[in-house]
Structure 1
């Protein structure tokens, strides 16, 4: 353990040599929230000459793996000691943690998935660190535990990361995630006996898991094993699809699809509805530009049906030789098309034309196509027949997000979930034939959803672009007309849409009298390809302008007072926070940059970072370099300027955005003259980019972050005692 354990030998001596305030508690109060004395951080003399510019990188040594480099481990321990002491003394922190715990303690269900008359679903009784997988024989059968990940490790940081039953429901394929890493270990369970079989597959990452229809084995994608000490940092290349036959060792697995001449490609494999084909979708990065291949399972013949990596083509399902896909080819907001794969020359026919709303997922179930749209970042679900005639729109409870609608073509039953900022996920059973929804599982919560108001507003960005924003407040705060400390969240990248969803921790923020806002920035997928393109590559500054515009709007409209605005974002959103704080430090009172991409000149050198060039560009190309250098958070800190209070959060096992990004960034912040507000980093152990995090760790982290943000925006967390 790194976070709370003393390090032996040279590490302990190095920490002991630092100023005592670096490792002992620093008293803080509501009146004195000044920065503590930071641990000493060695500044190296690394200077790169890039396209005629000299770029200093004094903290490059902090890129080294904390598990391997003792100096980095010492630094982590020292930083956490200072941060832990500061956070522990924040006013209202304990009340906030207690209330988040109460709000989290409700029964949560995943969507049921039926195979062979058995229904598989996840359930968490409230405060279980990991959700448990259950199975029922028949929808109303007695539930029994199938997999309980809470028994897998002492710290509950080992999670069930995905699962797939055979067609007859007799076997279950499942993936294990340890310590938050993206790596997966795959195993097989006998559903009747609960016995874990001998089949084990390692080095799986960014993979689907799909059975052959006869249950003889399964398809998966993996990377080659890494060298010693490289598991969490080495670039991921040579993604390959394999078939594992039950009862055989992994060494006997058959390569199904690989591209050794192009090792940068990723390959995602699934089995067609009729079981005759393996559908391999290949990508070169994060853009929706795919090549799709069909592999005949009997003959092994491979046929490329979508060549060229020019457009998005995503398999929906098939009825015989008629294959349905969604695509943005000639339809920036996407449409549904079909083709007859028995033809020598494929012709694509539009089934559901492009609409005014953005098309997301589509399923082929109950003899129909069920299409999920985004209407101004809110869910809209429509049902069509297989010739594209609209049957109906599914009635949803309000502003929120709906997901699910999977199923079998010849069965009318499907399930979906609906949630919003004031409503935890409710699971509904939907009869596709009649259009009737019925509640299958609804949580009982420790608050009244009607006490909170969810609005959607629109504001103008710097260049006049109309940007949507969700605003959530308690009715009492909304009706008062008074400004309230506000937490503004954003992402703005990779064609990812931010839609309404429930968070117990943010509800506690609302109960304390705060407001919560989510800006749907360019770079996301809310309005299709044009919206995404408007916020990436040399348009990335639009994302920052949109977020700054949201903050200015909230102040101008009296939602939040000047000096009462906090911002938060994770991953690409962490980059967002770092960039806008550099550009407008005067606008924000506090910020949380979580697991962020902070060094835009070296992001492509670690793990999955090479994929992100589709959104960010290539640091090795001069035109892209100039854009990246201009906003890179690590390289644009304005010493001599008063900065807001910042809490950077990351984790030691984050092998998506390696923690070196956050380490280097906070070291540069602490070395600069940024005024009296603290610039701190919280580094979690046995955790990664976010998925698989135990409930208790998630509650602790949320309490720390929101107490920190609330303390600098004037939100009284002690009021949660009332």
Structure 2
């Protein structure tokens, strides 16, 4: 059965035109001009970068009111929100983390705002350890990562508030379940690594008075060691590099090892720099394990003082290596040679290496011994995405997860002795895989490159050009868009819609060459790939321009901004979410400097001209018929600061003179990702409702 829109006469009764919207808030244009490499760059809305300015706060409040007024008139908005909640209402489990005789896992019941952390002793029943649903009335304080000490006496855990990337580390005594008084502040982009009665972590100095903790540049990350039961100001400084303030610094003590591994990462480099010393010899000099500005090394573990990892050095699709010998004379040797398909993950447990490779955007897992001899494969349920495969050297069973677009996330227990898997926990989603299908197509891009794209739709779908369609993409930072189950997409698909996921260059779908082909001076390839995918959807009569929406988050928000400015004629709707939209100033906020390896910087003249050519903010023009647009952001997003969206929305509203709505939706007390389930459902409902409304499509349910 197929679903089509109601007669247009009904649509006209519920659609608000631009003229009927609340008046636009005043957006004063300042005469601010920068000259970069001899080119004048106007920046009339720079005042919107100051998130503490009362004028900015008032402007945002008026934008929010205007958008809410529009969305409240959509007759199916509330029913859609209820349907999304219904689809999300099932029990979800994380993959378990076994630590000696204790197993930790998270469980989320129905539409709980946050998952609950459980602990289970060997042979015992699970007990609640941490329930972040009790930490705040509005659900804006959540649990991030957690780590048990080597002796299972303590648990460190990170709390996050209002979606910010800042973290607080707290400590619990696992014997008494008592919260200790340890509180570590100003932690960002850090893990926790236990050693003896304390742990290593990375943090920044507290923001200087008068600067914004949510938008100021993060400089000078330092590594500290904290002893349980002491104050943060007494923590021991382990490492800092005053000469390199714009880099990440971290360290790790691998399990069952006497080594301390330290890594440093500069935003202008793609490569890895990793150093090592004995953890119990603090006066020992750091020895270089690996150092490259371009090649990467991901450490998987240490076995008998031999360090194992995967590198792209001399192998753009990856090879497995190990480092042997004394620390002052380490030698790298190949364990598993580069293959036809890129290595995208590696696990180590029970004396085995589990190597995950990507084949046309799905995973396969091959098992090797520690000398590189192939000993088998892991049989998976289908063409999908896996994770996990880590453990201790004496483990005989380990866990991994599997998911696909039509296979809800399931955790399996793998027996290393028999080579067999059994289900540990399976998500019982309200989803009938017999009704839907996911198929892969390949689209030819502008330069002839073959670009994969997945299409999700009902099995009875007929390509007649009427389907409401979303094209989603990312295309950056070596991040692959692999198949994963999302119950909320069912709300779109069951109405006869199509959801298309484009695997654009800039991602990691075909290894480092695929990533590199979508960066810096080659970033336009990403947009050309997406344009080709959009045109394919139209040419194949999947949809038409009025019913085609472009959507993406973060770097994907940049994709949306670039596509709607380069090819506004292709799309009926555009929804950039938490997007990087001012490409000439992205590096001046929080950790934006870390993106230079993908984007380039204005300091380099060639890179500046490339950035200017596609920067969404700087390519909005008057007298252009842009698609209906809802810019989505959040007031506590300190990764891609909301100033990107504020300035883009102000400029779009200034240049556009047509009848389509140009809205900005600002989530409060939320960050780069939804702060909780309720916020996530609200955002998805508003996004889908806006898209349907602008496409002239009315779903079969209405508000009651």
TM-score (norm 1): 0.93
Partner of 2:689, secondary structure, is: helix
Any idea what SS the aligned residue of 1:348 has? strand
The yes-or-no answer on 1:51 pairing with 2:37 is yes
Q: Does structure 1 residue 320 correspond to structure 2 residue 320?
A: no
Question: What is residue 60 of structure 1 aligned with on the other side?
Answer: 46
Decide whether aligned partners of structure 1 residues 433 and 390 sit closer, same or farther in structure 2, where only a CA change above 3 A counts.
same
Q: Does 1:406 align with 2:387?
A: no
Aligned to 1:578: 561
**2:8 corresponds to which residue?**
none
Structure 2 CA distance for aligned equivalents of residues 708 and 505 of structure 1: 16
3-state SS in 2 of match to 1:718: coil
Whether the aligned pair in 1 keeps the contact of 2:253 and 2:279 (CA below 8 Å) is: no
What CA deviation, in whole Å up to 9, does each residue of 1:238-273 have, x standing for no partner? Answer: 111111111211111111122112222211211023
User: Secondary structure of the equivalent of 1:326?
Assistant: strand
The alpha-carbon deviation at position 713 of structure 1 amounts to 2.4
Residue 538 (1) aligns with residue 524 (2): no
- Tell me how far apart the structure 1 counterparts of residues 411 and 155 of structure 2 sit (CA, whole Å): 23
Number of the residue aligned with 1:93: 77
Structural mapping, 1:383-422, within 5 Å: 383-422=367-406
Name 1:485's counterpart in structure 2. Answer: 468
> Within 2, Cα distance between the matches of 1:630 and 1:161?
38
Q: Determine whether 1:294 maps to 2:276.
A: yes
Maintained 8 Å contact 2:188/2:204: yes
- 2:352 aligned with 1:368, yes or no? yes
Write the deviation string for residues 652-681 of structure 1: whole angstroms up to 9, x where unpaired.
110001100000000000011352111100
Is the deviation greater in 386-395 or in 116-125? Answer: 386-395
SS state of the match for residue 237, structure 2?
Answer: strand
Instruction: Provide the secondary structure at the position in 2 that maps to 1:476.
Output: coil
Partners of 1:415 and 1:628 lie apart in 2 by 43
1:629 maps to: 612
1:113 maps onto 2:97 in alignment? yes
Q: Over residues 349-408 of structure 1, what are the superposed CA-to-partner deviations in whole Å (9 max), with x where a residue is unaligned?
A: 111111111111211102100111111111211111111111222111122211111111
SS of equivalent residue, structure 2 residue 250 = strand
Is the aligned partner of 1:255 residue 2:241? no
Asked if 1:239 corresponds to 2:221, the answer is yes
- How far the C-alpha of 1:320 sits from its partner, in A, is 1.4
Counterpart check, 1:265 vs 2:239:
no
Asked whether 1:666 is paired with 2:652, we answer no
Per-residue deviation, 1:573: 0.6
Which residue of the partner structure matches residue 197 of structure 1? 180
Alpha-carbon distance in 1 for matches of 2:465, 2:560: 26
1:707 matched residue in structure 2: 689
Are 2:149 and 1:149 equivalent residues in the alignment? no
Count the aligned residue pairs: 689
Partner residue, 1:219: 200
What is the match of residue 382 of structure 1?
366
CA contact (8 A) 1:596 1:661 kept: yes
User: For residues 362 and 201 of structure 2, what CA distance do their matches in structure 1 show?
Assistant: 33
Offset from partner CA, 1:21-70 (integer Å, 9 cap, x none): xxxxxx985455446232221111111122222211111100001xx211
Q: What is the Cα deviation at residue 344 of structure 1?
A: 4.5
Looking at structure 1, the residues matched to 649 and 510 of structure 2 have their Cα atoms a distance apart, in angstroms, of 34
Inter-partner Cα distance in structure 1 for 2:189 and 2:551 = 27
Does 2:502 correspond to 1:519?
Answer: yes
Match of 1:358 among 342, 346, 361: 342
The range that moved more, 323-332 or 388-397, is 388-397
> RMSD in angstroms over aligned alpha carbons?
1.7
- For the 8 Å contact 1:293–1:303, the answer to whether it is kept is yes
| Segment drifting more, 619-628 vs 521-530 | 619-628
Residues 717 and 194 from structure 1, CA distance in 2 versus in 1: closer, same or farther, beyond 3 angstroms?
farther
**In the alignment, structure 1 residue 548 sits paired with structure 2 residue 534:** no
Which residue, out of 598, 603, 628, partners 2:581? Answer: 598
d(CA) in 2 for partners of 1:363 and 1:445?
28
- 1:283-327: per-residue Cα shift (whole Å, max 9, x none)? 102754111111211222121121343421111112113211110
CA distance in 1 between counterparts of 2:328 and 2:259 reads 17
Q: Check the 8 A contact 1:505/1:703 in 2, yes or no.
A: no
Instruction: Determine if the alignment matches structure 1 residue 172 to structure 2 residue 158.
Output: no
Name the counterpart of 2:6. Answer: none
Alignment partner of 1:282 is 2:264: yes
CA distance in 1 between counterparts of 2:635 and 2:258 reads 43
| Range that drifts further, 498-507 or 203-212 | 498-507
Q: Which runs of 5+ in 2 are unaligned?
A: 1-10
Tell me if structure 1 keeps the 8 A contact 2:465–2:541: yes
The whole-number CA distance in structure 2 between the counterparts of 1:211 and 1:75 is 46
- In 2, are the aligned partners of 1:111 and 1:121 still within 8 Å (CA)? yes
CA shift in 2, pair 1:454/1:663, >3 Å: same
Q: Is the 8 A contact 1:412 1:431 kept in 2?
A: yes
1:381 partner SS: strand
How big is the shift at 1:721? 8.6
What is the CA deviation profile of residues 473-529 of structure 1, one whole-angstrom value per residue up to 9, with x for unaligned ones? Answer: 111225x76651111100011111111112222221111110111001001111111
- Tell me the distance in 2 between the aligned counterparts of 1:431 and 1:118: 18
Q: What whole-Å deviation, never above 9, does each CA across 1:396-428 have from its counterpart, x for those lacking one?
A: 112221111111111121111111222321111
Name the residue aligned to 1:16.
none
Paired residue secondary structure (2:145) = strand
Aligned equivalent of 2:289 = 305
Aligned residue for 2:568, secondary structure, equals coil
Aligned-residue offset at 1:720 = 7.8
CA distance in 1: counterparts of 2:73 and 2:404, whole angstroms = 33
Q: TM-score, normalised by structure 2?
A: 0.95
- The 3-state SS of whatever aligns with 1:704 is helix
- Report what 1:24 is aligned to: none
Q: Is the 8 A contact 2:480 2:507 kept in 1?
A: yes
